[in-house]
Amino acid sequence: MNKYDVTALGELLIDFTHNGTSEAGNWMMEANPGGAPCNVLAMLTKLGHRTAFIGQVGNDMFGKMLKKRVSSINIDVSNLVFSDDYNTTLAFVHNSPDGDRDFSFYRRAGADAFLDKDKVNVETVKNSKILHYGTLSMTNEPVNEATMFALETAKSFGVLRSFDPNLRKPLWDSLEKAKERIWYGISMCDILKIAEEELEFITGKKDIEDGVNAIRSKYSIPLITVTKGKLGSEAFFDDGEVSLHTSKPTFMKVKTIDTTGAGDTFVACVLHDILENEYKTFTQERLGEILTFANAASSLITTKKGALCVMPDKTEIEALIQFGN
């Protein structure tokens, strides 16, 4: 039996979000634990799964706070490394009135980007059902090498690999390099979640189905989900015998204040279904149920600030599905 349902590798950082103005007229910022991989694990843990994180933070006040908060929501942090040489990465997030975000990253000496290959625990990877990853752990060395090592290890032990590019253009010194690394991530995955704008970025196709077909012309990925923000999501399944495509709208009646973690929540719900029902025997009905559940969960997380520590539970998600639209 696998020790973990899902292990994720990548960034763990502080998201500073605007939280009012002081009497002196200065912005007040709230320090939220963040980072896409741990957001995914937080949602999966909320749904009852065993999770673990592989990554690095600074041996500073923020790194210690992150370890404490992540551990408090029952994510295994035994593979979270403290660095004495590099500080914890910081991100400052500005939310527009509709909840969309602009990011300013402070990461040139961010500890997560300097995770070494030898800090990746092979036993943790091989004792996981799924390894989840993104591209923030591919922006530079040595963390890119560590990510590649983890993926090769997972592949050699038959661990399913889940990829969400989560492209953050300001973190790349070259968009061509970003595109190249996204294609590498796609080449190594069994399950792909990609945003509509990321799909166009790597394929040049404005039409979603054309973009998915462009990916499939290179790599045979059975399940591809595409998120479209306020317009919902689409799912494509093709195992060589069965070919399916469906789409579902999002839940518009929620009051969105912060879209941080919406995509992470979505992919976690996709992985939840795979863990519950295995990665086979997909039907049109099952794909629709996956999208509806994932859309509901990701809509709910936008009603709260931050993501990692405020993930919705199954009861909330099911209530929104029943009464929300």
- For domain 4-11+35-86+116-323, give the fold: UDP-N-acetylmuramoyl-L-alanine:D-glutamate ligase (3.40.1190)
pLDDT of residue 87: 97
Number of CB atoms found within 10 A of residue 215's CB: 20
Entry pTM? 0.95
| Long-range pairs, 286-291, Cβ under 8 A, ≥24 | 287/235, 287/237, 287/244, 287/246, 288/246, 288/248, 290/225, 290/235, 291/225, 291/232, 291/233, 291/234, 291/235, 291/246, 291/247, 291/248
Tokens of 19: 């939280």
pLDDT of residue 323: 83
Give the pLDDT of the chain (325 residues) as one tens digit per residue.
789 999 999 999 998 988 889 999 998 888 999 999 999 999 999 999 999 999 999 999 999 999 999 999 999 999 999 999 999 999 887 766 655 667 788 888 899 999 999 999 999 999 999 999 999 999 999 999 999 999 999 999 999 999 999 999 989 999 999 999 999 999 999 999 999 999 999 999 999 999 999 999 999 999 999 999 999 999 999 999 999 999 999 998 888 888 889 999 999 999 999 999 999 889 999 999 999 999 999 999 999 877 788 999 999 999 999 986 6
Domain spans of the chain, in order of start: 4-11+35-86+116-323
Question: Which distant-in-sequence residues (6+ apart) come within 8 Å of 69 by Cβ?
Answer: 33, 308, 309
